[in-house]
Amino acid sequence: MDEFEKTIRTTLRETNKFDAAKAKTLRRETVQMFQKKLKTALIIAWIGVCIGVVFEAAGWIGLVLSMFLGGSVKLVVFFGVIALSGGQFHLFTKLWYWVYHNEIKVRTEVKELQLQLAELAGKEPPAEN
């Protein structure tokens, strides 16, 4: 449990009545926290994709040049491995971002649902007829 979750729990525990302004602030802070995580993940993903594309392009260029300029078999295999590794790194980075993005979106929805449940629990019960 991170510091933000502890703050939410203690705030909800300490308040006996529902405070709409505090709930709105908690929701906004929750969304901002997860948006910051997504922005960081997006930057990491773009860096990973760029590294993968650079290695893939360098590998393919080296492979073509070594094949047509009479390079050794070891050189052809080396550049082939570099090209395939760059492509795999590129795809792995995209897959990682997709999984992490979906995880963060689900966690955001769960946190918002928890705050809505706390809001409903904090309200006065309806008068029975």
Kindly indicate the confidence band of residue 99, based on its pLDDT and cuts at 50, 70 and 90.
Answer: very high
For the chain, what is the mean pLDDT? 82
Higher pLDDT, 43 or 21: 43
Higher pLDDT, 69 or 47: 47
Higher pLDDT, 61 or 122: 61
Whole-prediction pTM value? Answer: 0.66
8 Å CB contact between 39 and 48:
no
CA 106/CA 12 separation, integer angstroms: 22
- The per-residue pLDDT for 91 is 94
Kindly indicate the confidence band of residue 129, based on its pLDDT and cuts at 50, 70 and 90.
Answer: very low
CA 4/CA 114 separation, integer angstroms: 14
- The per-residue pLDDT for 13 is 67
